[in-house]
Amino acid sequence: MSTPAGWYADPSGEESLQRYWDGTQWTEHTQSPEPAMPPAPDAAAETPAPPEPAPPEAESPAPISEPAMPPAPGASTEAEAFGSGMGQDENIKASTGGIRTELLSDSRFAEVGSDSRVVRQNSRMLKVMLGEDVLARQGSMVAFQGAIDFDHEGSGAAKFMKKALTGEGLALMRCSGQGELFLADSGYQVHIVHLDGAGLTVNGRNILAFEPSLTWDIERIKGAGMATGGMFNTKLEGTGWVAITTDGDPVVLNTDQPTFVDTDAAVAWSSSLQTSLNRTVKAKALIGRGSGEAVQLTFQGSGIVIVQPSEGRFMPPAA
């Protein structure tokens, strides 16, 4: 017959230690023996022994839960996106006239405050504080606040003739009055260039706006005949700012060595640079095996060239 489970003197002989027997083997659980209580006066000779303590339960390890994955950068949680009740985002506190939207609480969409006359409202929009006039591409106004007038800006007889002969030129409007003017062009990126008595030659389609203090004219690339399309550009010079656009993030190249750029990807460059056309037509092109990159603009001298990552968006012909 096996010994019943219970606390017994430790088999090691240690008198101050008891070890628990589970009925089949010794366990790792130990305790100090409780001192015997002396019998009370006139108590019965035999006092029933106190019940043996229940064997300790082995502690179960706490369940290990996987840590929650952090949200991806820029991602919003479901609660942020849809709110905690009935599809409404209760976390959005900003409200104007009973309209509540993240557009009001996100500073990215707030109007930019600045002491500068011209500033980028965002990467695709220009903000101009009018007091003095500004010349802008016709149709580029997207919003204004205040009292602002828009009038056609003539280019003069000489420039008009150049436009007619070359196709290059600017359809400008003069913006005058007091207020805040917002300009953009087809969602293109906007960049501000300040001229300090220098000259900047720009592809006419990439000019968004500039100060009337700058003089401008149409110039022909050296080496390009009058019948060569796209080889005429607009030169601005003097002191003031000009806002240009690019189709994507541009790269600015320092012309410390001969530089060659696709004629449609070249946005603007230092007017002091020597320019010419580089033709790379080879015999293979005559049999339909050319690269398609037959002509590039060549730049030499000390200056910069601004290049966009696009050769221009396709514009379908008017019906």
pLDDT tens per residue across span 135-146: 999 999 999 999
pLDDT in tens, 40-82: 555 444 555 555 555 555 454 444 444 444 444 444 443 344 3
Domain-embedded: residue 148: yes
Q: How many domains does the chain have?
A: 1
Mean pLDDT of 266-275: 95
181 pLDDT band, cuts 50/70/90, is: very high
Answering whether pTM is above 0.75, one says no
Domain-embedded: residue 82: no
Domain-embedded: residue 20: no
Domain-embedded: residue 317: no
Domain-embedded: residue 9: no
Q: What residues make up the domain containing 258?
A: 115-307
Q: Measured over all CA atoms, what is the biggest interatomic distance in the chain, rounded to whole angstroms?
A: 135
Structure tokens at 162: 């150049």
Domain-embedded: residue 2: no
Rounded CA-CA distance 235/229 in Å is: 17
Domain-embedded: residue 33: no
Q: What is the CATH number of the domain that holds 151?
A: 3.60.160.10
Domain-embedded: residue 149: yes
Give the helix/strand (H/E) hosting 158: helix 156-166
Listing DSSP states for 184-247 in one string gives -STT-EEEEEEEEEEEEEE-GGGEEEE-TTSEEEEEEPTT--TT-TT-EEEEEEEEEEEEEEES
Mean pLDDT of 253-264: 94
Look at 287 and 91; give whichever has higher pLDDT.
Answer: 91
